[in-house]
A and B are shown apart, each in its own frame.
Chain A
Amino acid sequence: MIGAVGRVGSVGGSRGRVTIVTGGPDFTLSNATVTTEFGLVTVGTLTPVNAPPGVTFRIKETAGASGDDAGFAVRNG
C-alpha cells in the first residue's frame, strides 16, 4: 500500500539508549558502553539503515569550551 512504511525493528539488546523512529534514513549504534584509555577505543559501530550510499557520520560538536562530546569522535570507514 502506498504510504505504508514498515516499522523499523528495535535495536538489539539494551546496551544503549538509541531513540527508535519509524521510516526514513536511520542508523544504529551497536554498543554504548566503553572502557576508555589514553588512546582510541571503539565504542560501537555505526550502521546506516534505510540510507543512501556514501553516508558518513560525525559528532555534532557542542558550542563552548566544554561538553559531553569531549573525548569522543567518529571514525568513518
Chain B
Amino acid sequence: MAIQVGTYQQTDLRLTSFTNKRNFNTALTGGPFSGDVVGHWRAFFVRLPSGYNLLNQRIVMAGADLNGAGSFNNGNDWTTRIPGGSLGTPTNIRQRLQLMDATAWTSLEGNITTISQIAIGTVYLVVTGVANTGSNASPVWRNFAAICPVGGTPESEVGATATTTTFLANTNQRIFEILLPRLTTVASPAGTTMEEVAYCTGDFPWDTANNRPHHDALAALATNGGLTYETMLAAQNAGTLGYANLRTENGGNGKGRLEYRFTLRDLSAGLVNSGAIAGNLSEAGTPGGLTVVSQIAPTQYNPVVAPAITVPVVRFVGGRGTRPMVRTGTYGGTTTSLQRRVIYGTSPVNEGAVAGAVVPGFDWSTSGMTLNAGQFTCSVALPVGGPYTLEIRDTNDTGNTAIPLTDNIVGTMVNLWGQSGAALALRMGGNNEPWGPNNLNVAIAANALGYALRLTNIDANGSSTYQQPQPGAAVMRQGTTPAVGHGFALAVNEWNAHHPRHPLAIVVPAINGTAMSDWAANALVLGSASWRYLGSKVAPGVSAADGSGVVGYHALLQDSYTDLHLIMWTPGMDPSSTVRANWTAAIDGLFSNSPTAPWLVFPPWRQSRELPDQSSTFVKRNEHVSYVAELGARGALAPYWPDVIADGTGSLHSANAPSPGGVPSSGPISDANAVGQGRLGRGIGRSIAWYYDRRVKGEPLQIVGAAFTDGSRNVIRVQLPRQMRTLNGAALANRFSISLDNGVNFGLVGQAGNGDATAVTAALASDGRSVTLTRASGAWPATNVRVDYCRDWPFGPTEAVDEANTEALLYGLLYDSQTFRGNTNLATPAGNALASSNLVGAGVAGVAVAAAGGAAALVSTTRLTGARTVEVEMVDSGGNPLRTKTVTITAS
C-alpha cells in the first residue's frame, strides 16, 4: 500500500522534531562507520497524477521549510521538486527534478535538465544526495540526482563542480521534515502517490568509472525482486555489493546508515520511523486529506506475506453452539482484506457431513473478519459438531493462504474439580502425568467426538524444583482407539449414546491431596514456591509461575468459559458453607465468561476406605448435598455410587496401579483400573447426559419409602425406586442400616451400632420392587425408626482386603435394569445403583418407616421440568396387573 494526496492542500506528513545536518568533513564512527567521511542521500518512490502536465507550479514532493510558510526558499531549506508540466520558466525543468539541498547545488536550486521528464502514471524511484566519490583521506564531493522507473532504465545527473565547502560544513539544514506538503501553491496535487521514503547518512553506491551513482544499484532498488534500501546498505557496509567499479574502502562499498525510514504503506505503521534518529511522521493540517492506495514500490519492499492463524492450545469451543469460534492471527505485505472458510475435518460427526466439504453457510466470505495493523480476528458462529478446519486467505490474492487450523470443535465443555478421587476418576497417574493408558482399548463410538484436557505437572512439582505446568489436549475421534485413558473414552461414548453428534470436552483440574479451603484461599500448591491454586489468567513461566495458577491458567486456556462444573471432593470438600461459597466465587471470578455456570455435584463414590476415615462417611456426602442446596438453581445432585471398584490392595482409588498384577506398595492383584474407571467413565458420561436431558435414566436412586407390613412391626418393607436386581445371581448383600432414634444414629441391620443387635434378614421381593427386612424376634418401635442403604461405603479394606476380589462382593448390591456401568468381569453390566440418602440429621437421614396400611403415592425423585407421561399399574398381591393408566404429570 502507499499514501496518496486525496484532497489538495488539506493534509501533509511532518516531523515534529528536527535534526540538523552534520559537518560532512568529520569522519564518523559507530554503527557501520569507522573513520568514514560520507555524505547523504534521500530516496522515495513517486507517481504523478493525470493532469500534472497542465500544472505550472514548482510543486514540492519533499523538503524542509524553515520559515514554515510553504515557500521552501530559505537558504537552509532542502527540497525535491517536480515542477508541473506547464511551468513558465525555465521550461527545461517541466516535470523534471528541481533540487535544493541548501547550498549543495550551485545557485539556490539544482535544475536537473539532463534527466528525462517524469511521466504521468509511471512509478519512479527518485534518489538525490551528496556523495564522497574520493576517499576518506581525500574526499571528492559531488551532488547527484537520479530517477529510475520501476522496471526501467536509470538516469542520473551529477553536479559538474564539487559540492561547496559551505554546504559541507553547514549544520543549519534540517535534514528531514515534510512529505507531500500542503501549504501554498507548491503543494503536492491530489493524486500524487508516494511510498518507501529514506534519508541515509552515507554515500550512495558510486560508479567510479562513469562518475555517477551506480546505475546497477538504482536499477536493483527499482526492479521487482531486487534490493531494498536495507539490503543494499547491508551489502554496501559489508563490501559485498558486487557491482563493477564500485568505490571500495574501509571494508565497504561506501557506507550508510538509515536515519529516517518511513514505509508510507498506511497512515499508522507507515508513519513510524525505523531509522536511527527518533521521530515519527504525523498528519499535519486537517487529517483526512491523505488516503491509502495500492502499493507502488517494487514487490521486494512489501512482499507477499501469508496470513497466519495463531494456533490456540484449546480448539474446543464450549457453549453448546451458542458461542462463536474466535481465532486470531497475523497478516502483512500487500494484504488488505481476508476471507475465511470452514470445512469439515477428519471424520466429522455432523449429520450428513463429509470430510473436506464446506460447512453450509461458511464458504469463502469476509464476514466475521476484522483486520487491524497486521492482526486479524475471525469470529464464526459454528453449529455443534466438528471437527472443523478453518481456512484464511487474502481476498485479493486468493492463492495467498494461511496454513489451515484443524480440529476446531464446538460442543459442551465440563470441568471436573476435587482431589485424588476426581483426579483419578477417568485417568491414571500422578500429578505429573496427563492421561494414563487406554487399557481397555476402548474405541470411540460412531458419531462421538471427545476432547480431553489435563495439565502435565499440574502441581508444578510441588515443593521440589519447579516444573512448568503444560497443557495436554487430546481429540477422541469416532472409530479410533485413543491414547487417553479408558475412563475418558467410556464417558464420551456414554454421553454420545444420549446426545449423539454433540462433542464433549472433559477438563480435569483436580489435584491429589488438596483441600477446597486451600484452593479458595489461593494458597501455594503443595509447597510450590510460586504456583498457586487460583493465580491470574496468565500462562505459567518456564522457571516460575509468574503469577499464574491452576484455575487462572485453565481459565486462560478455556477462554474463561465452561458449560458445567463437576465436583466430587473427599475429604477436601469444606464443612463450612462460607468456604464453599468462597470457592464458588473464586471459580466464577476467573471463569468470567461463565460466572453462573451450573454445578453437578457427586456425593463421593465408594473408594477403598471405611470408618474411622472421615472421608468415607455420609457426613462428607451430606456436605455435598448441602452444597447443592447452597448453589440454588445452579446446583444439581448427581448419583452417589457405592460400587466403584478401587484398585489393588488398599489403594484407595479407582486408579492407582496402572500395571496389571501389582500396586505400588504391595501386591497382589491390580486390574489396571479397568472396572473402577469403567464404571466411573460410563457413570460420569451418563450423569452429564442426564443433566442436559432429565429423561435419561441417570438420576440418583434412593429408597423411596418404608413401612411396617403389619401391626406386629417385625417386618419392614423397603420400597425401591425401580425394579432392582443383584448382579450375576449374587445373594442380596445386607447393606441396609436402621436407626432407632429418628436418624441420629444408624447401624447395619443385625449389628449393635443402632442399639439393636437382633438378627435381621433382608430379602428382595420376586418383582424386584421392594426388600423386606425381617427381625428374628421381637418388634421394632412404632416411631423414630428410619432405614437407609449403603450409608457406609460397603466392603472397605477391613471387610475386603484384596480390592480386586471386592467386585464379587459388590454384585450383591442393588441395581436397576439399565446395563451401562462397567462390563469388565460382569456377565451383565451394572446399571444405576441404589444408594444412600446421603443426609445427616434427625428426621432427614434415611427414610422414615411408616405404620402399616398407609396410602400409596406417586413421587418425583429428582429435579426435572416439563410434561411427562407415565404408566402406572395397580397389581394384586400376586403381582398381576389389575389396571394400567397413563398419567400426565406437569413438573416444575
Residues of A within 8 A of B (CB): 16-19, 24-27, 29, 32-48, 51-52, 54-61, 65-77
Write 15 A-B pairs (CB below 8 A) sorted by A numbering. A19-B886, A27-B874, A27-B883, A34-B860, A34-B890, A38-B636, A46-B855, A47-B855, A55-B874, A57-B858, A58-B767, A65-B818, A68-B695, A73-B861, A75-B859
Q: In the complex, which residues of chain B have a beta carbon less than 8 angstroms from the beta carbon of A27?
A: 872, 874, 883, 885
Q: Which residue of B lies closest to A55 (CB)?
A: B874
B348 contacts partner chain A, Cβ-Cβ < 8 Å:
no
A18-B857 in contact (CB<8A): no
Contacts A71-B699, A75-B859; A36 near B853 (Cβ below 8 A):
no
B160 contacts partner chain A, Cβ-Cβ < 8 Å:
no
Q: Mark B601-645, 1 if CB is under 8 A from A, else 0.
A: 000000000000000000000000100110000011100000000
A39-B856 in contact (CB<8A): no
Q: Which residue of A lies closest to B698 (CB)?
A: A70
Contacts A57-B875, A59-B871, A76-B770; A40 near B889 (Cβ below 8 A):
no
A18-B856 in contact (CB<8A): no
A41-B872 in contact (CB<8A): no
B697-A74 in contact (CB<8A): no
Q: A52-B877, A58-B723, A75-B859 are in contact. List 10 more A-B contacts (CB 8 A).
A: A27-B872, A27-B883, A33-B890, A36-B864, A43-B889, A45-B856, A59-B722, A66-B498, A68-B695, A69-B871
Q: Mark B842-876, 1 if CB is under 8 A from A, else 0.
A: 00000100101111111111111100111111111
A65-B861 in contact (CB<8A): no
A77-B852 in contact (CB<8A): yes
Number of B residues whose C-beta is below 8 Å from A?
A: 69
B120 contacts partner chain A, Cβ-Cβ < 8 Å:
no
Q: In the complex, which residues of chain A have a beta carbon less than 8 angstroms from the beta carbon of B637?
A: 38-39
Q: What is the minimal beta-carbon distance from A68 to any residue of chain B, in angstroms? A: 4
Q: In the complex, which residues of chain A have a beta carbon less than 8 angstroms from the beta carbon of B138?
A: none
B892-A35 in contact (CB<8A): yes
Please report the C-alpha to C-alpha distance between residue A5 and residue B850 in the assembled complex, in whole angstroms.
36
B693 contacts partner chain A, Cβ-Cβ < 8 Å:
yes
Q: In the complex, which residues of chain B have a beta carbon less than 8 angstroms from the beta carbon of A55?
A: 874-877, 882
Q: In the complex, which residues of chain B have a beta carbon less than 8 angstroms from the beta carbon of A45?
A: 855-858
Q: In the complex, which residues of chain A have a beta carbon less than 8 angstroms from the beta carbon of B666?
A: none
- Which B694-729 residues have C-beta < 8 A from chain A? 694-700, 702, 704-705, 707, 717, 719, 721-723
B464 contacts partner chain A, Cβ-Cβ < 8 Å:
no
Q: In the complex, which residues of chain A have a beta carbon less than 8 angstroms from the beta carbon of B827?
A: none
- From A40, A51, A52, A59, B870 is in contact (CB under 8 Å) with A59
Q: What is the minimal beta-carbon distance from A31 to any residue of chain B, in angstroms? A: 9
Q: In the complex, which residues of chain B have a beta carbon less than 8 angstroms from the beta carbon of A60?
A: 871-873, 884
Q: In the complex, which residues of chain A have a beta carbon less than 8 angstroms from the beta carbon of B868?
A: 68-69, 71-72
A67-B695 in contact (CB<8A): yes
- Which B669-711 residues have C-beta < 8 A from chain A? 690, 693-700, 702, 704-705, 707
Q: In the complex, which residues of chain B have a beta carbon less than 8 angstroms from the beta carbon of A34?
A: 860, 889-892
Q: In the complex, which residues of chain A have a beta carbon less than 8 angstroms from the beta carbon of B629?
A: 38
B872-A74 in contact (CB<8A): yes
Please report the C-alpha to C-alpha distance between residue A41 and residue B876 in the assembled complex, in whole angstroms.
25
B19 contacts partner chain A, Cβ-Cβ < 8 Å:
no
The listed residue with most A CB atoms (<10 A of its CB), out of B850, B857, B882, is: B857
A43-B769 in contact (CB<8A): no
The listed residue with most B CB atoms (<10 A of its CB), out of A32, A34, A57, A58, is: A58
Please report the C-alpha to C-alpha distance between residue A73 and residue B696 in the assembled complex, in whole angstroms.
15
Q: In the complex, which residues of chain A have a beta carbon less than 8 angstroms from the beta carbon of B769?
A: 58
Q: In the complex, which residues of chain A have a beta carbon less than 8 angstroms from the beta carbon of B696?
A: 65-66, 70
Q: What is the minimal beta-carbon distance from B491 to any residue of chain A, in angstroms? A: 15
Contacts A25-B883, A27-B885; A74 near B859 (Cβ below 8 A):
yes
Q: In the complex, which residues of chain A have a beta carbon less than 8 angstroms from the beta carbon of B887?
A: 16-18, 29, 32
Q: What is the minimal beta-carbon distance from B786 to any residue of chain A, in angstroms? A: 13
Please report the C-alpha to C-alpha distance between residue A55 and residue B717 in the assembled complex, in whole angstroms.
14
Q: What is the minimal beta-carbon distance from A65 to any residue of chain B, in angstroms? A: 6
Q: What is the minimal beta-carbon distance from A19 to any residue of chain B, in angstroms? A: 6
A61-B817 in contact (CB<8A): yes
Q: In the complex, which residues of chain B have a beta carbon less than 8 angstroms from the beta carbon of A35?
A: 891-892
A65-B498 in contact (CB<8A): yes
B856-A71 in contact (CB<8A): no
The listed residue with most B CB atoms (<10 A of its CB), out of A26, A41, A72, is: A72
Closest 7 CB pairs of A and B: A77-B854, A75-B705, A38-B637, A54-B877, A60-B871, A73-B721, A25-B882
- From A16, A51, A54, B888 is in contact (CB under 8 Å) with A16
A74-B858 in contact (CB<8A): yes
- Which B723-771 residues have C-beta < 8 A from chain A? 723, 767, 769-770
Please report the C-alpha to C-alpha distance between residue A66 and residue B870 in the assembled complex, in whole angstroms.
12
Q: Which residue of A lies closest to B699 (CB)?
A: A71
Q: Which residue of B lies closest to A67 (CB)?
A: B695
B890-A38 in contact (CB<8A): no
Please report the C-alpha to C-alpha distance between residue A24 and residue B870 in the assembled complex, in whole angstroms.
21
Q: In the complex, which residues of chain A have a beta carbon less than 8 angstroms from the beta carbon of B856?
A: 45-47, 56-57, 74-77
- From A36, A42, A75, A77, B865 is in contact (CB under 8 Å) with A36
